A and B are shown apart, each in its own frame.
Chain A
Amino acid sequence: AQSVTQLDSHVSVSEGTPVLLRCNYSSSYSPSLFWYVQHPNKGLQLLLKYTSAATLVKGINGFEAEFKKSETSFHLTKPSAHMSDAAEYFCVVTPRSGGFKTIFGAGTRLFVKA
């Protein structure tokens, strides 16, 4: 079985301050992990992915995430928020064996204040 939990439904930060969006997962198989972003009335865009190579993954737009197996976490961070980062973020887990089923987290809405 597998699941993904995004610990915050909403996060609000000021422009220029760090961003932390938290994600914990559970998987019976070695997972691939992804973060997607969805801007209002836009499609899903892949931010970054963990594929069992480096545990610290760098993505687009200055985002990065660290895979911590001991904590079953894959938190998304960015050193300095920009107004354009305001969007919905989804943490996604996919097993790399044992059958294919992708699970989406409930999403975290990021608000960025000027």
Chain B
Amino acid sequence: SAVISQKPSRDICQRGTSLTIQCQVDSQVTMMFWYRQQPGQSLTLIATANQGSEATYESGFVIDKFPISRPNLTFSTLTVSNMSPEDSSIYLCSVEDRLASYNEQFFGPGTRLTVL
């Protein structure tokens, strides 16, 4: 298993500003994932972050809006840029357990973002 922490746990931001969310894992992992959960909705994958390469973004998400860093095997950041109220969501990072055959994912507690 993996223990994941995120900072900040929540924030209230003004329109047009940017927020960087940090994700820290207690063990080295190859792949980290960033998800968005809009109010009352399910989770949607934003991007996959591999150490040492560019993040891979899902359809509907672009690097200019959601730049991701992955400087080492235990840490990643997601920036929500030029925010608007539509970006108000919970943002979660997760890691996979590739030692097992079933690719279980472990999730951080999430960052609850409100944009005014």
Chain A interface (Cβ < 8 Å from any Cβ of B): 32, 34, 36, 41-44, 46, 49-52, 90, 94, 96, 100-102, 104-107
The majority secondary structure among interface residues of chain A is loop
A50→B100 CA distance, assembly (Å): 12
Neighbour of A43 across the interface among B31, B45, B48, B109, CB < 8 A: B109
CB-based contact A100/B103 at 8 Å: yes
The majority secondary structure among interface residues of chain B is strand
Neighbour of B42 across the interface among A42, A49, A50, A104, CB < 8 A: A104
A107 surroundings in chain B (CB, below 8 A): 41-42
CB-based contact A90/B107 at 8 Å: no
Sample (20) of A-B pairs whose CB atoms are under 8 Å apart:
A32-B104, A34-B104, A36-B107, A41-B112, A42-B109, A43-B107, A43-B110, A44-B92, A49-B104, A51-B102, A52-B102, A90-B42, A90-B43, A94-B102, A94-B103, A96-B103, A102-B103, A102-B105, A104-B43, A106-B41
| Number of residues from B at the complex interface, CB < 8 A | 22
Closest residue of chain B to A101 (Cβ to Cβ) is B45
A41 surroundings in chain B (CB, below 8 A): 112
Neighbour of A102 across the interface among B45, B100, B101, CB < 8 A: B45
CB-based contact B101/A96 at 8 Å: yes
- Known contacts A36-B107, A43-B107, A50-B102; 5 further A-B pairs (Cβ under 8 A): A52-B101, A90-B42, A100-B48, A102-B45, A107-B42
A42 surroundings in chain B (CB, below 8 A): 109
CB-based contact B42/A106 at 8 Å: yes
CB-based contact A100/B31 at 8 Å: yes
Q: Does B87 contact A (CB under 8 A)?
A: no
A49 surroundings in chain B (CB, below 8 A): 102, 104
B102 surroundings in chain A (CB, below 8 A): 32, 49-52, 94, 96
A13→B31 CA distance, assembly (Å): 39
Closest residue of chain B to A41 (Cβ to Cβ) is B112
Closest residue of chain B to A34 (Cβ to Cβ) is B104
B105 surroundings in chain A (CB, below 8 A): 94, 102
A46→B105 CA distance, assembly (Å): 9
Closest residue of chain A to B103 (Cβ to Cβ) is A94
